[in-house]
Amino acid sequence: MSNGERPKAGPSIWIWAFGYFAAYAPYSALTKALSDGQLGDKVPGNRILPVSTTASFIAMLVFVFATGWWKVATRKKVGSLEVPTPTRWTALSGLCGATILTTTTLAYTIEGVSIVFMMLLMRGGVLLMAPLVDALSGRKVRWYSWLALALTLASLAVATLGRAELKFSGLAILNVVLYLSAYFVRLRFMSRLAKSDSPDVTKRYFVEEQFVSTPAALLALGILAIVGTGGLAEFRNGFVDFPFTPQVGWAVLIGVLSQGTGIFGALVLLDKSENSFSVPVNRASSVLAGVLATLSMFALGLGKPLDLHEGIGAAIVMLAILVLSIAPMIEAKQKKTAAS
């Protein structure tokens, strides 16, 4: 593939994108509703995480083994058995995935901060880094990537203009920083090791990453629960008390849907196209899902209407996504016409 030219993507990226959207809308809405007390008693995010992450872990195992994809993983001989084993790089990527899984759920439980606002910060941030990752990976960054970059910055400025919650958004900022740092490292690994014309290479990376990400998140939560002092007491409650409450079923559903976003979102990002294409497809699905979740909750009387600033910000992000998605297709068509 020549620098800057998007390889021909099969229809699968759009199938995965639809799956991501279909899982993300109910996942974000239910997480916000449960933590806001719209589904019974208020449940803090760190109390939801132990149950939801356990459900995610089980859902991951079901998917990987039901599809048979586990068979392409790297094997290591343990006695007479060959055990699927992540490599050093897929293990590190899996740890980044664990960070993303945890910070995403926590993002929608921070009191006073809406779904769409947190989405614009997190999704906009990943959009901004896509051209940078392509540049670091030796891929030429085209003019339309820089235009989309400027549009994304504008959307974040509009969405944050005059917002009262910015006065107490320290936790939100920390959450976003961890999320974006993990995504940057993960995209770098994907670009170097997983974006391939070979489906088995992509599946191998995906499976090995999945074998690390959810178990690592669950282990980290378990350690926090064992410490269980001060603000960490809620993690212990999440393992010990919350499973016996009437709301535990919502947390299980949140976990399954969260794993759905992890599976489909990763498969979009692992598409062989450059990050300046696959990342916008991924981000578009989640931004649209967030807007749908917010509007659905409002229609059901479970939340506030879409804020004007957030709506404008989301619209500008969608414009950036259109620029990144359509411009490469037009450019490729022009090159093909010129060459013929």
pLDDT digits (tens, 9 = 90+) for 286-312: 777 878 888 887 887 777 777 777 778
Q: Is pLDDT above 80 for 165?
A: no
Q: How many domains does the chain have?
A: 1
144 exposure class (CB count in 10 Å sphere: 0-12, 13-18, 19+): buried
Query: Which residues in 301-324 are b (16+ Cβ under 10 Å) and which e?
Result: eebeebbebbbebbebbbbbbebb
Looking at residue 11, its pLDDT comes to 45
Q: Taking residues 50-74, what's their average pLDDT?
A: 92
Confidence of residue 6 (pLDDT cuts 50, 70, 90): very low
Looking at residue 253, its pLDDT comes to 96
Q: Would residue 145 count as lying in a domain?
A: yes
Confidence of residue 112 (pLDDT cuts 50, 70, 90): low
Looking at residue 26, its pLDDT comes to 92
Looking at residue 7, its pLDDT comes to 42
In 10 A of CB 138, how many CB atoms? 9
> What is the Cα–Cα distance from 280 to 131, expressed in whole angstroms?
11
Confidence of residue 160 (pLDDT cuts 50, 70, 90): low
Confidence of residue 279 (pLDDT cuts 50, 70, 90): confident
Mean pLDDT over all residues of the chain? 81
Q: Taking residues 165-188, what's their average pLDDT?
A: 79
Looking at residue 159, its pLDDT comes to 66
Would residue 4 be called left, alpha or beta, if left means φ above 0 and alpha means ψ between -120 and 50 degrees?
left
> What is the Cα–Cα distance from 173 to 36, expressed in whole angstroms?
20
Q: Would residue 37 count as lying in a domain?
A: yes
293: domain range?
16-331
Name beta bridge partners: 81: 78
Confidence of residue 314 (pLDDT cuts 50, 70, 90): confident
Q: Would residue 6 count as lying in a domain?
A: no
Q: Would residue 229 count as lying in a domain?
A: yes
Q: Would residue 340 count as lying in a domain?
A: no
Selected residue with higher pLDDT from 139 and 322: 322
Q: Would residue 9 count as lying in a domain?
A: no
Q: Would residue 5 count as lying in a domain?
A: no
SS3 sequence, the chain?
Answer: CCCCCCCCCCCHHHHHHHHHHHHHHHHHHHHHHHHCCCCCCCCCHHHHHHHHHHHHHHHHHHHHHHHCHHHHCCEEEECCEEEECCCHHHHHHHHHHHHHHHHHHHHCCCCCCCHHHHHHHHHHHHHHHHHHHHHHCCCCCCHHHHHHHHHHHHHHHHHHCCCHHHHHCHHHHHHHHHHHHHHHHHHHHHHHHCCCCCHHHHHHHHHHHHHHHHHHHHHHHHHHHHHCCHHHHHHHHHHHCHHHCCCHHHHHHHHHHHHHHHHHHHHHHCCCCCHHHHHHHHHHHHHHHHHHHHHHHHHCCCCCCCCHHHHHHHHHHHHHHHHHHHHHHHHHHHHHHHHC
One-letter amino acid at 91 equals A
Q: Is pLDDT above 90 for 84?
A: no
Q: Would residue 21 count as lying in a domain?
A: yes
Provide the whole-model pTM. Answer: 0.77
> What is the Cα–Cα distance from 281 to 265, expressed in whole angstroms?
9
Q: Cβ(189)–Cβ(35) under 8 Å?
A: no
The residue among 228, 189, 29 whose CA lies nearest residue 96 is 189
